[in-house]
Amino acid sequence: METIDAILLGIIIVLMIAMVLFILEFYGIISFGIFPESWLYVKGKVEDRLNDSSSSSVPANGNTLPSNTSPNNTPVDTTPEPTPATTDQVVVPPPPAKPRFIGCFGDHPWKAGRADRRTNVNEWNHTLADRALPLFGGEPRTVAQCNEEAKKRGSKYFGLQDVQGAQATAAQCFLSSATRPYDIDGSAPGCQVMPDGNTAGKGWTNAIYEAV
């Protein structure tokens, strides 16, 4: 038995010594030629790869690169690009211009003292040429319709006259001429505001507008 124990102990001691020598040569501390050249080549390649990967992420001074810096130390612009402006915005056109209301004026061809009053002219004996607005634009006409007629015929002013009823929104349309002022018979009180907010004259009274 003592002989077997001595043999086992010797084997254990030899194995421990072999393990120590194995470790020393593996890490290159002592070289006994235990490992073949191919194994040492592979080991060297693995160590080189590990060294390269660690040195590429850390600069020579040991400081890590900022997140906005490229590997060659060039700053990288991280500012977000501006959002392009949309082109689908709806453009609302301005409302059309409205004829300008000037006031209410009489239409009395027979009025005494008129500079162009003809002899023996009265309320029933006169022509369109005797009126304060000597051009007829039709009836019934709204303010917008009479304005269009004035523009077509080159009249600067137009008037609405003889509105019929409180709910009416149209009346007779008369147009100015370049030879007679619309206020030849002076101002008059006979006008009414129609339901649409515009003004028209009653009998023998023009609600005068400037055409646009």
Encode pLDDT of 20-31 as tens digits: 777 777 666 766
Contact between residue 174 and residue 133 where contact means Cβ atoms under 8 Å apart: yes
Regarding whether 106 and 200 lie in a shared domain, the answer is yes
Among 158, 166, 157, smallest CA distance to 192 is for: 166
Is 32 domain-assigned?
A: yes
Is 80 domain-assigned?
A: no
Note the pTM of the prediction, 2 decimals. 0.55
Both structure tokens of 174: 């008369």
Regarding whether 136 and 203 lie in a shared domain, the answer is yes
Regarding whether 131 and 198 lie in a shared domain, the answer is yes
Q: What dihedral do alpha carbons 147, 153, 155, 156 form, nearest 10°?
A: 60
pLDDT digit string, tens, across residues 120-170: 777 777 888 889 999 999 999 999 999 999 999 999 999 999 999 999 999
Q: Could you tell me the end-to-end alpha-carbon distance of the chain, in angstroms, rounded to an integer?
A: 134
Regarding whether 206 and 104 lie in a shared domain, the answer is yes
Cα-based distances in Å from 32 to 16, 26, 151: 16, 10, 117
Regarding whether 185 and 105 lie in a shared domain, the answer is yes
Q: What dihedral do alpha carbons 200, 203, 204, 207 form, nearest 10°?
A: -10
Residue 40's pLDDT band (cuts 50, 70, 90): low
Strands 171-175, 135-141: pairing is antiparallel
Domains of the chain: total: 2
